[in-house]
A and B are shown apart, each in its own frame.
Chain A
Amino acid sequence: MKDDELEGWRREWQAQPAVTMELIRRVERETVTMRWDRFLLLAPAAVALGTTVIAALNPRIDAIVFAAGMWIFMAASWRFLVQNRKGIWGPSSETTAAYLELSIERCRRKLKDFRFGRVLSPFITAFVLAGVWQGMASQGRLESAEGYWILGAASLFTIGVVAFAISAQNQKRKQTEAELEYLLDLQRQLKEGGR
């Protein structure tokens, strides 16, 4: 009776679907994330497009410079993103070593992403704040103390948001560094085992 019970459970338990090589699935998941990364640039592109529309409707030199600057930042980001994704869309062969190599390379590129973001974000922030300051000044909204208060508050808020984002990215960077270290160690072990 009891053995029948155990056998029944065993059949049910072993009937659960099996999962095959998860390293391959991980790489596949990362690939999907990388494809979505491209769409992340759509938001800044929308902002750049918005500044262009404003500049077209109100063709002042400061508006045109601001729109042009936004497009330059956009182009630089796109170029970096495309360059940084080269050669990491798939493994060079269907071997475990190739999949591991790909995961390592993706970690390295992710760290490059973080460095690029850290360098670019202060420039973009400064540029946007300068644009807002110039826009408010040209509209005569900085002639009163209230205007300066608004500009100061908006600047502090923006800087705070950017600082928070950089700090969050730092956390992710540390995780990626730890992951890279683990994968490299694994690769070393594999090479030593292969000797």
Chain B
Amino acid sequence: MTHAPNRRRWLTAAGASLAGLWLAACDKLTENPRSAAVLKSAEGLTRRAQRLVVDRKALAREFTPADVSPDFKANGSTNPDDPDYVAHAAKGFADWRLVVDGLVEHPLSLSLDDLKKLPGRSQITRHDCVEGWSSIGGWTGARLGPLLDQAKLKPNARYIVLHCADTLEQTLDGTGQYYESIDLIDAYHPQTILAYAMNGQPLPIAHGAPLRLRVERQLGYKQAKYVMRLEAVADFAHIGRGNGGFWEDRGYEWYAGI
């Protein structure tokens, strides 16, 4: 019995060392490219499973004006200092134009007024940040599907890349510029719009003025702000660091439906 305290101390130390080993092992497995690839493989499974059980046209829930968040949080860039963007903002985006190019038959260059004449949609939806919080906001914008029909996608176009005006991270090779990409299922979803108004007002700079994407069945980082150019591509390996978006290049899932 006199050994009991020693034994207890030994067991505590052994327990703590095991816990430490377990944590160190998990960190190592996170950093090892081979095990990281295994963990990452679940993303493809999730995307395929959701595409299988979720109808292509199934709508995200819409809310009433009474549900709108008074404190809608703005994440990422909230006031870009890129010179081109600052110049556009100073002129109230009067000379700003959205370029639509890449794998399209008819490249477009559209002003805000042009966009407002396109088939549009208003919706009050929930914005889910990857961090875990949600805010509800009302959006009005041009539906992406009809806009792409106007530009007429070439048969080999598979993704729409959204190039943005803001540099979210300073890098030497320019890969700190924000961009995102979605596939054609989401591009043609009825709730996918290029929004120029939020809660009945022109889109504020913090939320992406003059134009942001709303792709309602995915997380917040897919909702690209300060959109300057849509590029139809067959794949996005040559853009940024090749993963289809700013946050995707930094480890986040390309399919952000979960």
Chains A and B bind each other: no
* Chain B residues engaging chain A, CB cutoff 8 angstroms: none
* Chain A residues engaging chain B, CB cutoff 8 angstroms: none
